[in-house]
Chain A
């Protein structure tokens, strides 16, 4: 496993894939233990850098695994790590979604859809809070978030990119005005 990094990545990431309830953040701590402390593939400093990059780049934060694979074994490592982390969980989701879809219209199905909706709403707001917490909890963050939400409600045809870049511009301007600290990753 130590000799073959591709095999090692697979053995570490496949179980993590099936344990990543709630997405990437739930496996970051055990992932760091494995790749830094146990396998000595990367240093703690490199792990933190890769974590920041995964947050800044598009895609789920779990793309951190892709970067670890890339660091460990180049393009082959990146591909193997990505597949090992995303495919097992996706197969499970597909299996559940298929069973779920086959029984449309039954009482338990209606109950599941109506019953899971409020759980999802709670998780959506919890997710919003956690992103705000990660990106520096402040009045400006909240104002920008609420402003963006209202803008998209009032102007449904507006491309979301416009709103995202407006947010970026606002924060850069705030930094120039000394209102927003540069948060180290």
Chain B
């Protein structure tokens, strides 16, 4: 299951994959697609490792997409990989967002423009839901992680509490509960 040393991935592949992800990340939900390509199609990292990086990326400042690019790039090829992934994931959006800005006044008059954007966003949410469900089936089958996941969802998604305090409370509690226990495992001796 757990891969200790991932196979060496060419920088060119990292660039290609993250450029594609960045340039086609319409309407949010891009982490769902990133999960699909890096974990599912390419097998670059395990589901567990991806989710750990996603949690780190969401807790740390910065956009989820760029943080995940840096995280996955670092896992695959260290600092260089992180730099390549960051550059690649931003390059498409950089030019496209400016292109859209120059076309916006025209595009906004096209009938159905906003509806098409809403539809893309809704479908992208579907990928996010799928990723969340896979993560829940994988890591939240016991009571404690299930309660943590549900609590975080309610606090951030429903009650719209600020992320920082919620993460600073839920994170340490969840990590403490997940601490390996058993004969001969000292816990803090690591």
Contact = CB atoms under 8 A, between A and B. Distances in A.
A-B complex is real: yes
- Size bracket of the B interface: 35 or more
Nearest to B48: A113
Interface string B130-169: 1111011011100001101111110111100011100100
Given A111-B180, A122-B149, A167 B122 contact: yes
Interface string A67-107: 10010000000100010001101101110111011001111
B116 A172 contact: yes
- Tell me the interface secondary structure of chain B in the complex: helix
B82 to A, nearest CB: 5
A93 B71 contact: yes
B55 A56 contact: no
Contact of B70 (A94, A152, A167, A169): A94
B56 A97 contact: yes
A20 B61 contact: yes
Contacts of B140: 117-118, 121
A181 B17 CA distance: 36
A167 B120 contact: yes
A92 B100 CA distance: 30
Contacts of B139: 114, 117-118, 121
Contact of A123 (B30, B79, B111, B156): B156
Interface of A: 17-24, 26, 49-50, 52-63, 66-67, 70, 78, 82, 86-87, 89-90, 92-94, 96-98, 100-101, 104-132, 134-136, 140-142, 144-153, 156, 160-161, 163-172, 174-176, 180, 182-185
Interface of B: 4, 22-31, 33, 36, 40, 48-49, 51-67, 70-71, 74-75, 78-79, 82, 86, 90, 92-94, 96-101, 104, 108, 111-112, 114-133, 135-136, 138-140, 145-146, 148-153, 155-158, 162-164, 167, 170-171, 174-180, 185-187, 189-190
